[in-house]
Structure 1
Amino acid sequence: MPLWRVLQAVCLVGLVGVVVRAQNYGDEIEVNYADAYYNEINEGDQAEAPTSNPPPPCSAPEFSKWDKLFTMLENSQMKENMLLQYSDDLMKVELRSLRGEVLQFVAQYGGSCAAAVESAARRAGVQADLQLKQALDRLRETAAEQGEQQEEVLRRILEAGGEQAARLDRLENKMGGRTKSFQTRHATEDGGEKGNKGKLDISEELQSLREQLELYVRATSTRVLPAGCDMALFFPMRSPKTHAEIIPQHSMQTNAFTACLWVKPTQVLNKTVLFSYGTTTNPLELQLVLNGQSILFTVGGEAHLVEAQGAVEEGSWTHLCGSWSSEQGLASLWVHGQKVASSPGVAEGHQLPTGGNIILGQEYSADGLAKRFGFQDIFNAEEAFTGKMTGVNVWDRVLGKDEISQLARADGRRCGNRGNLVAWGVSQIVTKGGVELIF
Structure 2
Amino acid sequence: LSAVQIVPSLRSFSIPECVSVEGSKAGATQIPCTPQDLSRWNKLFIMLEDSQMKQDMLLHQNEDMVKVEVDSIQKELHKLNNNKACVQASENTCKCISEQMNGNLNKAMEQLREAADTYQAQNNETLQQLIHFSKNQATRLTKLESSSLLGAGLGQVAMKSFSAYPKEQEASNADGGKLERALMATVADLQRVHAQLALFQRATAHRFLPSGCEMALLFPMRSKHIFAEVIPSMSMSLQSFTICLWAKVTQTLNKTVLFSYGTKKNPQELQLLLARHSVLLTVGGETHLVEAHSVVTDGQWGHFCAAWSSEQGLATLWVNGDNVARVPGVAEGHVLPSNGFILLGQERSRSGIYRDLDSSVAFTGKMTGVNMWDHVLDAGRIKEYANQDGSCDSRGNVIGWGVSEIIPHGGSQYIN
Report the alpha carbon displacement of residue 213 of structure 1 after superposing the two structures with TM. Answer: 4.4
Q: Residue 383 of structure 2 aligns to a residue in which SS?
A: helix
Give 1:428's aligned residue. Answer: 405
Q: Distance in 1 between matches of 2:386 and 2:361?
A: 26
2:323 matches 1:339? yes
Is the CA contact (8 Å cut-off) linking 2:25 and 2:389 kept in structure 1?
no
Task: Give the aligned partner of residue 70 of structure 2.
Answer: none
Identity %: 51
Q: Which residue of 2 aligns with 1:216?
A: 201
Indicate conservation of the 8 Å contact 2:239/2:334, yes or no.
yes
Give the Å deviation of 1:379. 1.1
Counterparts of 1:278 and 1:218, CA distance in 2? 38
User: CA–CA distance in 2 between the matches of 1:151 and 1:354?
Assistant: 48
The one of 254, 260, 266 aligned to 2:238: 254
Counterpart amino acid of residue 280 in structure 1 = K
- How far residue 153 of structure 1 moved from its aligned partner, in angstroms, is 5.6
Aligned partner of 2:247 in structure 1 is 263
Equivalence for 1:385? 363
| Count of residues paired in the alignment | 237
| Closer/same/farther in 2, CA of residues 153 and 207 from structure 1, 3 Å limit | closer
Structure 2 residue identity aligned to 1:409: N
1:318 equivalent in structure 2: 302
2:219 alignment partner in structure 1: 235
How far, CA to CA, are the matches of 2:348 and 2:195 in structure 1? 44
Aligned to 1:330: 314
Amino acid at match of 1:404: I
CA distance in 2: counterparts of 1:355 and 1:303, whole angstroms: 22
2:41 equivalent in structure 1: none
Secondary structure of the structure 2 residue equivalent to 1:405: helix
CA positional deviation for 1:365 = 2.8
Greater Rg over alpha carbons, structure: 1
1:305 counterpart = 2:305? no
Question: 1:277 corresponds to which residue?
Answer: 261
TM-score calculated relative to the size of structure 2: 0.54
Instruction: For residues 277-314 of structure 1, give each alpha carbon's deviation from its aligned partner in whole angstroms, at most 9, with x where no partner exists.
Output: 00001111111111011101111111111111111111
Match of 1:409 in 2: 387
Residue 210 to residue 345, structure 1, CA distance change in 2 (3 Å): farther
1:378-400, Cα deviation, whole Å (9 max, x unpaired): 21111111111000000110000
Q: CA deviation at 1:218?
A: 2.5
**Map of 1:5-404 to 2, 5 A cutoff?**
213-222=198-207, 224-367=208-351, 369=352, 371-372=353-354, 377-404=355-382
Q: For the residues of structure 2 that align with 1:210 and 1:392, how far apart are their CA atoms?
A: 36
Q: Which residue identity is paired with 1:424?
A: W
1:382 is paired with a residue whose SS is: helix
Change in 2 beyond 3 A, CA 1:302/1:425: same
Change (3 A) 1:415 1:210: same
Q: Separation in 2 of the partners of 1:290 and 1:419?
A: 22
Which segments of 5 or more consecutive residues in structure 2 lack a partner in the other structure? 1-20, 32-190
- Give me the whole-angstrom Cα distance separating, in 2, the residues matched to 1:391 and 1:298: 21
In the alignment, the residues of structure 1 paired with residue 256 and residue 337 of structure 2 have an alpha-carbon distance, to the nearest angstrom, of 24
Which amino acid is the alignment partner of residue 376 of structure 2? V
* Contact persistence 1:329–1:346 (CA under 8 A): yes
Query: Residues 389 and 208 from structure 1, CA distance in 2 versus in 1: closer, same or farther, beyond 3 angstroms?
Result: same
Q: Give the deviation of 1:236 after TM superposition.
A: 0.4
1:220/1:354 CA distance change after superposition, 3 Å: same
Question: Cα distance 1:339–1:155, how it changes in 2: closer, same or farther (>3 A)?
Answer: closer
Letter in 1 for 2:415: I
- The alignment status of 1:418 with 2:403, answered yes or no, reads no
Task: Label 1:207 to 1:360 Cα distance change in 2 as closer, same or farther (>3 A).
Answer: farther
- Quote the Cα distance in structure 2 between the aligned partners of 1:331 and 1:207: 50
- 1-side partners of 2:199 and 2:320: how far apart? 21
User: Displacement of 1:234 after TM fit?
Assistant: 0.5
What's the RMSD between the two structures over aligned residues? 2.5
Q: Which amino acid aligns with 1:386?
A: T
Give secondary structure in 1 for the equivalent of 2:356. coil
Partner SS, residue 286 of structure 2: coil
Instruction: Give the superposition deviation at 1:221.
Output: 1.3
Give the Cα–Cα distance (whole angstroms) in 1 for the partners of residues 194 and 273 of structure 2.
36
The Cα offsets for residues 198-222 of structure 1, whole Å up to 9 and x where unpaired, read as xxxxxxxx99998874553122211
* Equivalent-residue separation in structure 2 for 1:209 and 1:296 (angstroms): 42
Structure 1 pair 211–315 and aligned structure 2 pair: CA distance change class (3 A): farther
Secondary structure of 1:366's partner? Answer: coil
Can you list the C-alpha shifts for 1:54-77, whole angstroms capped at 9, x where unaligned? Answer: xxxxxxxxxxxxxxxxxxxxxxxx
Q: Deviations over 1:238-261 (max 9, x none)?
A: 111000001000100010000000
Aligned to 1:146: none
Per the alignment, in what secondary structure is the counterpart of residue 206 of structure 2? helix
TM-score under structure 1 length normalisation: 0.51
Cα distance in structure 2, aligned partners of 1:207 and 1:341: 44
Structure 1 CA distance for aligned equivalents of residues 289 and 193 of structure 2: 44
Q: Match of 1:233, as an amino acid?
A: L
Distance 2:331 2:409 in 1: 32
Name the CA distance, whole Å, in 1 between partners of 2:192 and 2:364. Answer: 31
CA distance in 2, matches of 1:428, 1:342: 31
- 1:437 is aligned with what amino acid? Y
> CA distance change for structure 1 residues 211 and 346 in 2, over 3 Å: closer, same or farther?
farther
Query: Does the aligned pair in 2 maintain the 1:407–1:416 contact within 8 Å?
Result: no
Does the 8 A contact of 1:406 with 1:416 survive in 2? no
Q: CA deviation at 1:264?
A: 0.6
